[in-house]
Structures are given as C-alpha cells and as structure tokens.
Structure 1
Amino acid sequence: MDDGEGSIRPSDPALDVTTAVDGYCADSHLIPWRGREATGRYVTNQRDEGVWWCGVRRRWACRCRVPPRLRYERSMRAETRDQVLRSVDFGRYEADGDSRLLEYFLETGATRRAAAGTQLVIGRKGSGKTALFQHLAATLDHAVVELDLSEYVFQAHDKLREDGIPAAFAYATSWRLIIAAAMFAKLRKSMSFWHRRRGKKLLREIGLGSNRGAFGAMAEWLQRVRRLDLPGVEGIATLGGIELGDSQPSLIDVRTIQLLDELEGLLAKVVLKSPVTVLVDRLDDAWDGSEDSLRLIIGAVRASRHFARRFGQQGTAPVIIFLRSDLWERLDFNDKNKTGQVTIYLDWRDEELVEIIERRIRRSTESESEGWGTIFTSEEMRQRAGTQTYILKRTLGRPRDIVAFSVFAREVAVQNGHSVIEKADIYAAERRYSKHALDELRDEIAAHVSSFPQVMETLQRLGRRTFTVSEWNAAASESGMTPKEASEALDQLFESSTVGVLQAGGSSGGSGTRYRYQDRFLRSNASAVLQVHLAFVRELSLTDR
C-alpha cells in the first residue's frame, strides 16, 4: 500500500464517510466507492492495506491513493472539523455569570427529586448547586424567591436568638422571620386585600418592636439586594437606626415571635392557592470556623423543616436549602437523621460528566450529531487510556472540573491550529488545569489551615503521590508546622479529596485510590497509605508512585 502524500491510512477518520461518494479507484475507473462492510466506509484487509471495491473490474483495488473526488471530500471534512472546534463553547466553569447555563443544564434524577419535596441539597463546591438553584428558579411553575445570600447581614441573627432552648436551635426563629418576610413580599400582589393588609400590619409592628434593628437590617437587605419590596415596613432603615456593631447578642422578643406565628398562619392560607418556594444559597458564607456559625446554619435547616410541616405544601417544598457537603458533615443536632428522606446529594457518575461536555458541544454547534468524538482525538493517551478516561481520572468528579479541563484543552488546540483536540493539547492543558485546581483548593481550605503555603510546601517535600501519615508528619515538621497543625491540615486535604486512601484490590487483584467525593463514608487512619489526587500532581511536581 502506498503511504505517500494523499494515500489512504486506516487511522484517517476523514475517510470514514457515511454516504457513497464517486471517485477513481487505482485502476482509474470512475465508480461509486463501496466498502466491504458498509457503503462508503474505508475498510482494511488482513494485511492492513486500504481496499476499495472497483465496480468496473469487480475486484478489490488495494494500491489506493486518494482520488480527486475523495481528496476534495477529505479536505472539506477537515475544514469542517476545524470550524466545529472553533465554534464549540464549553461555557464558564463557574456557574455564576454563565449566560448559557440554563441552556447547557443537564437534567438528572437529582433534578427531578429536587422539585418533588426536597428540602436540602448537599454538594461539594463546584458540584452544580448554583446551577440547580438557577434551574429551579427558572422552571418551577409557581412563585419562587431566590435568597442568594450574597452580601447578607448574617450578624443580624446574633440579635435575634431565641431564649430557653438548646443552643443549636437558637437561630431557627430568626431564619423563619427573614423567610416569612421574603414570602410575603413575593406573594402580596396575589393575595386578597384583607390578607395583604393584615400582613403589612404584622410586618410593620415587628419593625417597630424591640427587635427593630436586626429585623430592619434583614428587611433592608431584602429590598436593596434581592429587590423584594416590603411596603408594610417603609422607612425601616431609619426606625431607631440599624446598629449591629454591638458584639453582645440579644434575644428575640416574645411579641416578635407571636407576630411571626400569625404571619406564618396567614401565609399558610395563601399558599393553598398560590404555592411559593424559597431557594436559599450561599449559606456557606456564614461559616467562619466557629461553632456559633455552625449553629446559624443549623437554624436555617430547621427553619426549612418548620415551613414544610406548617404549610403542608404539595409538590415542591416551601424552602430548599443548598449547602456544601463538608459543612453538612460538621453539623450536629439531634434530629439530623430525620432529614434523610428530604435530602439529595449531588454526586456525578462518569457518564453524566461526559454528557455535560457533549451537551455543550451539541448546543454550541447547533448539531445533535456532534459529540466527544468530534472534538477530542481518538488516539490513546498514556497507559493506553482513552481521552475520556484520562481526563476523568485527572478531574475531581464535578461539573466544574471537567468543564475547566475541556475549556483549557480547546484553547490550546485552537492556538496550535489543530482541527481536533490532540494528545499534545490535552497534556498541555493538564498543566493549566492542575494550577486551576490548586487555586480552587486554596479558596476552599486556606481559611481553615494554619498556613496554606506550608501545606503546599509539605506536599512538595514528599516528592511523590503516595505517602504514609508518618511521612506526612515528618515533612510537615520540616515545613514548620506543629503536630496539631499538621494533623488538621491533613484532615482538610482528606475532606477536600486532595488526598485519598490507597486500597488493595483484594481477590480481584490490583489496587486503586478512593476519595471522599466517591465515598462520603470513607475514613482514614494512622496506618493508611494515602495518595494525592492526579489533579494536583503536575502543579506540585510530584512523581506518580
């Protein structure tokens, strides 16, 4: 077989056409090409020679150079592939600010359950909580309040503690207050005149009471940030002044609780005809590492359960809380186990992560026939891994990660003038992604370790992916950490899935590493062998052993 310029090669995807094309065989006869297995497909014989059927001489033509017609077809298909790659838009790997987020959104079983009574959505940072938040806000067929707690006055809750109950429940009433006020603001135009009048009176009386400062801060935030109008408390920002600087906590007034109960009773009647759902996101911003901040989060969870019981709303729950999984694991209250049936975890299977990328390819190219194989090379990567397997092993099982890696790989391929993302492009993108993953890790754990640079220095001192706890402690000591700081840092790395537990393969042979994002019940111990996730290996310059 002639391998000169223009010859047909078995690995050439441009020749895998799906319709018959006319061209010249090696015997110079103008014929429709017909492959041995399917019309128009290039096939190989046992000697791996390119073969085409000559319709004139009725035999296989083996010495095949690309005929003019087929060479033209090949050129056009290569040009088309180049255009496809350039037209692909993987979107932003941060859900915030992605104008095409809803268009790219992938509905899963978790999506359907979220709209069917779920009160709590748990997921790691980057697992799709914000995307699901926005999807529900856009698609639910009833009133929705988006309580994205950006710039929220969390300190107001310290002025609205409830007395005479366990500390873990002290903030539930203050969350009930802000949620009820938001519900009223959203529903008031659809209420009867008498309900609207009574609700405005109740809110104004709360705003004029002894808790006016803290409630005023909440109401002002609803109006300024969330654009929810509360006409019953006009002028609230000047009612006695909103002074939250005093560090001493204060108690929620008994009269305030009575008025709140009445307001909730009014809302319970209204939602029978006009259902409402309050979506609460960015509750994670309340956590500053203190136990009291965890109690504040517990209060929001208990408030969501309170409204579900009181309203008895069918279908979507009246309040849905979105919360990071690491914070959920830290919460400890006596009826936490009762939340199981109304909680969903945003865990992703590999095939769902691939589908996220393929959906973005199809949407941005406006072609349902395009997919992973259109954009990524079919050549094998190191250790004979396909491109899907290679990338999935180097990302952290979240939509954010596989989108980020794909964005970097496409940018490299376009810069290199390639029509598909080649092996070299993926290897180059891996370095960029590894740096991105480390930056994300810094944002996630820097506030909860003694020194993030020391933690990274310790990992680099190890020099390799695989290590023991004693080796970690020795390297941490050389980096200047105390034993307590070293232990806390390793716990953070484990919880964030930066490191996992190397497990023997058992009777089936082999071994593998499990991470917390794959098994939320996974635990480590002093004798465990640990491994750094492949996402961080390139940036930390660790050897893969």
Structure 2
Amino acid sequence: MKSLTSIRTIGGIDADNDDLLMKCFQNHDSFNEIKEFQKFIVLGRKGTGKTAIFKRFLNSKNHSLFSFGHTFSDYPWHYHDKQAKIGVPDFDKFTHSWKYLILMSLSKILLNQDQSLPYNEDSLDFLSKIESFIVDTYGTRDPDVTQIFTPSKKLKIKSNFTVDLALIKANLTPEGLPMEHLPTVIQEVNLNLIEYVIGSLNPNHSYHILFDQLDLGFDPKNPEYNNRVIGLLLAAKEINRIAKENNKKLSIIIFLRDDIYNSLKFEDKNKLTQSSTTVIEWDRPGSHSLKELLERRLTEILKEYPNEEIKWEQVFDETQLMTGKQTKYNYITDRTFLRPRDAIQFCNEILKSHNLNEDREAMISNKEINSAKTDYSKYFLDELDDEIHKHVPKYENILEIIKSIGYHQFDMEDFEDSIQKKKSLFSEEIETYDSLKSLFEFSIIGYYKAGGSGYGGSEYIFKYKNTRAQFEEGAKTYRVHPGLIDFLGLKRSTKPKEIIHPH
C-alpha cells in the first residue's frame, strides 16, 4: 500500500468531474432494479449517486445494449413549451411532446447504432417508415434531438402515417407542416411512431432512454416546471407499458431529486410511487454501505499491485475511538446524509489535514478528523443551500435562530424564545411549527421519539435515515444534525434552563 502522503483526494464530489467514478462504481440495488426493468424512476437527494448510475448506463453500451442520455443544461425549453397541448389537464399537456422526444431518441438508436436491425420483415417495413419520416423532416437519419422542436423544421407526413387531415388547417399540407402546428397532430403522429419504433426493436436487445439533471430548472413557484416533469413521468410510464406488453426490453428512465418528486401532485401518483420508484439509499439494513464505496476508492489510489485490496482499517486507525466511543467510520458518516458526496468530501478534508500535520502517523488519527470538521461543516451547509433555498426562502433566518440558541439540542420553548429575540431583524414573521417542520424535512434537525413497550428504544428521528418518516407535531425536543454543529458554532449539549429563585 502506498503512503497516504502520496495522495491528495479520493476523488471528486461532482460526478461530471470525478475520474474515479467509473473505476469505482458500485452496482447499487437501484442500478440493478432499473437495469432489470423492474423500476424506471430513480429518486434520491443530491449527491446520493443518481448521476453516477446515469453515466454507468451511458458507458455500458455493447452490441445488445443501447442507451441514450438526456441532460437539460442546453435543451431548448422555450420551443418545448410551445408544444404544450391545449385542452387537456395541466399535468398532461406536456406528455405528448415528451413522447415525441423519446421516440426521436429511440429512432436515432434504431437507425444509427443497432446493427442487428432489421431483424425480420416487419422490422424492415417499420424502419423504412421511421427513416422516411425523419430524413424528410430533419434532413438526416441522425437528427440533433435538441433541435427537433425548432421553428425552422417542418413535419413531412407521408402516406405511411395515419393522420386525420381534418386536423390540419386548409392552407397547410401534411407534406410541409410548420413545427408550430405539431400540437394539433402530435397525438396521432406519436401513435404511428410508437407502433413503428416498438415493432422495430430487437426483442433480444436492451434499450434505455435516460433523463438526468431535471432539477436545473426547478422552481417550486412555477407550476409549468411541475407540469413538465409530470408530463415526462406520464410519457415514460405509457411507453414502458407498451414496450412490456409487446415483450420488448425498453425502459425510459428518469432520475429525480426526491424533494422535487415529493412536491409533485397528479392523479395516480401513489400507484406510480409504489410500482415504479426506487430510492438510492446507503447504510441501510441489507443495502450497500458507504464503507464499501470508500474502500473501492482507497484501493484504486493506494494499491501497489493489481489485486491488492485496501481496507478501511488500513487507512483509519480504529484502535482509538472518537468522542462518544464511536468508530471513525461511524463518526464520519454520522456527519453526512449517508450519501457518497458527503463521505468523499469529508475524507478529502481529512486527507488534507493529515498531509498538513507535521506529527502525522502512517494512519489517520482522531486529531486529523477533528481538524477537518470545520471546513467540512461549511461544505455541508453550502450543499444544503442548493436544495432548501427554493423550498424555504426564509431558511437562513431560521438558521440564525438556531445559532442564537447556541446548543445542538433544544426544545420548542428555546426556539420560540430565540424567535422573539431575533424577530426585529427579520422582515417576515417566523412560524415555530412550520419552521421546525421545514428543518426536519431537509434533515437539518431531528426530533426526539420516546421508546416504549413494543416500539424499541428512544431515538432521534432524522428524515435522511428514514425517508418515510413524518414530522411529529407533538415533538418537544430537537437535535441539530452533527454535520452542521461546527459551522453553526453550537455547543454539544442541551441548553440549560434558567432557575428562577423565589424572592
């Protein structure tokens, strides 16, 4: 094993800039579920590994496995929005344009990548119809999917498409229909394309169309954003159903932050949640652990010969326990949201501390972990800001209230007292219950739940440890997440109560 001083990090926290991502990828249960066509909606907090799975699919292509990935940093939303179908419920008005985009993505695979096609005579007929439509409309067998809705394009629908001509205005023809008129015929165009695309797919091959980075345009105050995402979910559900009924191995896969998914409201959402979602979680009973993931990274950067495996205990000195008699691994993960991004960042801060320590040992000590906590705590709060500020605009004021309490453990009375002391600084009123509930939803705080007969021991309930946990209205005592304590400057104890002496 190499010396720890020979390395600076165990990788990046951003999947787009992490050189170790593919080398150290772990086949998480969620990855396996979507690979085996059991689920198609992947949920998880930012940093849990959604983009890692997305990239794994895109890097796993072979002669019988095909994937096409969509990210939306450069997607022409303006033109997509113009394809909204009028006269249908809001949550359904983008469904048809999403179907069209998905079918165009699949057509690119069929016409340009899958060398087994056509696999029979029917497939040959369907492929020729797809090719005729796409080449006539876009001028190429391999169109740029970010340009499929642009006004410069014209739909050219020939006799091999069944479309009700009554839908087309008198001065227009199906051989040159401007893209602005696509919504009038898109439902029928999609019905033709679905038949041709599904009929063309090789039943022995696997096809995946993936959607990531949907949070880039997230705005909880904008109902159109919610409608777009709901439309994509419904489009994927429908196409996946048709593929399954035709015994084709096709899956439209959607990666979405769980806070965004939870904020959506549409008909039959609960059925979709139960049947089609998988949540990326770590360090749960029966699930993969962050320790395994970190050991893969440590092995990759510290090994000196090909088959060498580096274990956690070879790097972190677990013979000396941390405060509270915790192992170093438990101490570190307690200060995360049990997601790879946090664990990697904390370990990177610890390595930096180790390299700066002139009295360092060969292994990482308690001192170096303690030295890294403040910088890590700042990172942790910055990461939270990306998730929470759109949902809870006043959360910075709420954090100021927590800071003014001064202790990591407090009760509702402490919180209300601090609101009164700080309220002159805030332009808006801070509600006690709503504020505590918001902090709980994003795991900034957990609440104390007393144990009892048949209910197990007493514990603090945090949302990140149990995504199904609900805020308990009657809770009286709260605790701040350990990863935030250092940056907020809180004391690790309960705020003492003033003793009022009688006169």
The TM-score bracket by the shorter chain reads 0.7 to 0.9
One-letter code of the match for 1:107? N
2:270 maps to: 337
| TM-score (structure 1 length as normaliser) | 0.73
In structure 2, relative to structure 1, the CA distance for the partners of 1:486 and 1:270 (3 Å cut) is farther
Deviation at 1:292, TM superposition (A): 2.7
Query: CA–CA distance in 1 between the matches of 2:432 and 2:134?
Result: 51
1:144–1:277 Cα contact (<8 Å) kept = yes
Query: CA–CA distance in 2 between the matches of 1:503 and 1:415?
Result: 42
Q: Name the larger-Rg structure.
A: 1
1:300 maps to: 232
Deviation at 1:445, TM superposition (A): 1.5
Deviation at 1:315, TM superposition (A): 7.8
Residue 295 of structure 2 corresponds to residue 375 of structure 1: no
2:52 maps to: 131
1:143–1:187 Cα contact (<8 Å) kept = no
- Cα deviation digits, residues 162-189 of structure 1 (max 9, x gap): 2333222221111111111111122212
Give the paired residue count. 436
For the residue of structure 2 that corresponds to 1:500, the secondary structure is strand
Which one of 222, 226, 232 corresponds to residue 146 of structure 2? 222
One-letter code of the match for 1:411? K
- Cα deviation digits, residues 58-98 of structure 1 (max 9, x gap): xxxxxxxxxxxxxxxxxxxxxx66x2553475111222211
For the residue of structure 1 that corresponds to 2:23, the secondary structure is helix
Which one of 330, 352, 357 corresponds to residue 389 of structure 1? 330
2:195 maps to: 265
In structure 2, relative to structure 1, the CA distance for the partners of 1:391 and 1:504 (3 Å cut) is same
1:533 maps to: 481
One-letter code of the match for 1:531? R
1:115 maps to: 35
2:89 maps to: 166
1:34 maps to: none
1:494 maps to: 440
2:127–2:197 Cα contact (<8 Å) kept = no
For the residue of structure 2 that corresponds to 1:121, the secondary structure is strand
Name the stretch that deviates more: 111-120 or 523-532.
Answer: 523-532
2:71 maps to: 148
List aligned pairs for 1:76-475, cutoff 5 A.
83-84=3-4, 86-87=6-7, 89-117=9-37, 118-139=39-60, 141-189=64-112, 190=114, 191-192=117-118, 195-203=126-134, 222=146, 238-239=152-153, 253-273=183-203, 275-289=206-220, 290-312=222-244, 317-339=250-272, 340-349=274-283, 352-366=289-303, 368-378=308-318, 379-417=320-358, 418=360, 419-469=362-412, 471-475=414-418
One-letter code of the match for 1:323? L
Query: CA–CA distance in 2 between the matches of 1:384 and 1:409?
Result: 19
For the residue of structure 2 that corresponds to 1:183, the secondary structure is helix
One-letter code of the match for 1:124? R
In structure 2, relative to structure 1, the CA distance for the partners of 1:155 and 1:464 (3 Å cut) is farther
Deviation at 1:197, TM superposition (A): 4.4
For the residue of structure 1 that corresponds to 2:48, the secondary structure is coil
In structure 2, relative to structure 1, the CA distance for the partners of 1:356 and 1:293 (3 Å cut) is same
In structure 2, relative to structure 1, the CA distance for the partners of 1:315 and 1:186 (3 Å cut) is closer
Query: CA–CA distance in 2 between the matches of 1:402 and 1:133?
Result: 20
One-letter code of the match for 2:280? L
For the residue of structure 2 that corresponds to 1:162, the secondary structure is coil
For the residue of structure 2 that corresponds to 1:344, the secondary structure is strand
Query: CA–CA distance in 2 between the matches of 1:153 and 1:486?
Result: 42
1:92–1:403 Cα contact (<8 Å) kept = yes
Query: CA–CA distance in 1 between the matches of 2:487 and 2:254?
Result: 35
- Cα deviation digits, residues 41-61 of structure 1 (max 9, x gap): xxxxxxxxxxxxxxxxxxxxx
1:163–1:251 Cα contact (<8 Å) kept = no
Q: Which has the higher contact order (CA 8 A, sep 6+)?
A: 2
2:381–2:484 Cα contact (<8 Å) kept = yes
For the residue of structure 1 that corresponds to 2:289, the secondary structure is helix
Query: CA–CA distance in 1 between the matches of 2:91 and 2:309?
Result: 54
Query: CA–CA distance in 1 between the matches of 2:402 and 2:79?
Result: 41
One-letter code of the match for 2:291? V
1:381–1:390 Cα contact (<8 Å) kept = yes
In structure 2, relative to structure 1, the CA distance for the partners of 1:370 and 1:145 (3 Å cut) is same
- Cα deviation digits, residues 436-482 of structure 1 (max 9, x gap): 00110111122333345423322211212223445435534524153
Structure 1 residue ranges without an equivalent (≥5) = 1-79, 209-218, 224-229, 241-249
- Cα deviation digits, residues 398-445 of structure 1 (max 9, x gap): 111111111111111122142211111000111111010011011112
Name the stretch that deviates more: 116-125 or 457-466.
Answer: 457-466
Query: Could you tell me the percent identity over the aligned residues?
Result: 25
- Cα deviation digits, residues 203-226 of structure 1 (max 9, x gap): 477779xxxxxxxxxx75636xxx
- Cα deviation digits, residues 237-265 of structure 1 (max 9, x gap): 6349xxxxxxxxx9863322212221121
For the residue of structure 2 that corresponds to 1:467, the secondary structure is strand
For the residue of structure 2 that corresponds to 1:321, the secondary structure is strand
For the residue of structure 1 that corresponds to 2:109, the secondary structure is helix
2:214–2:255 Cα contact (<8 Å) kept = yes
1:469–1:526 Cα contact (<8 Å) kept = no
Query: CA–CA distance in 1 between the matches of 2:236 and 2:389?
Result: 30
One-letter code of the match for 2:24? Y
Query: CA–CA distance in 2 between the matches of 1:401 and 1:343?
Result: 24
In structure 2, relative to structure 1, the CA distance for the partners of 1:437 and 1:264 (3 Å cut) is same
One-letter code of the match for 1:397? L
1:19 maps to: none
In structure 2, relative to structure 1, the CA distance for the partners of 1:188 and 1:469 (3 Å cut) is farther
Query: CA–CA distance in 2 between the matches of 1:324 and 1:483?
Result: 29
In structure 2, relative to structure 1, the CA distance for the partners of 1:381 and 1:484 (3 Å cut) is closer
Deviation at 1:354, TM superposition (A): 0.9
In structure 2, relative to structure 1, the CA distance for the partners of 1:163 and 1:473 (3 Å cut) is farther
In structure 2, relative to structure 1, the CA distance for the partners of 1:160 and 1:369 (3 Å cut) is closer
For the residue of structure 2 that corresponds to 1:394, the secondary structure is coil
Deviation at 1:510, TM superposition (A): 6.1
Deviation at 1:506, TM superposition (A): 3.2
CA RMSD of aligned residues (A): 2.9
Query: CA–CA distance in 2 between the matches of 1:293 and 1:487?
Result: 28
Deviation at 1:123, TM superposition (A): 0.8
Query: CA–CA distance in 2 between the matches of 1:304 and 1:132?
Result: 18
2:290–2:343 Cα contact (<8 Å) kept = yes
Query: CA–CA distance in 1 between the matches of 2:270 and 2:236?
Result: 15
Structure 2 residue ranges without an equivalent (≥5) = 119-123, 155-179, 494-503
One-letter code of the match for 1:386? T
In structure 2, relative to structure 1, the CA distance for the partners of 1:316 and 1:428 (3 Å cut) is farther
| TM-score (structure 2 length as normaliser) | 0.79
One-letter code of the match for 2:485? V
1:206–1:259 Cα contact (<8 Å) kept = no
For the residue of structure 2 that corresponds to 1:465, the secondary structure is strand
1:449–1:485 Cα contact (<8 Å) kept = no
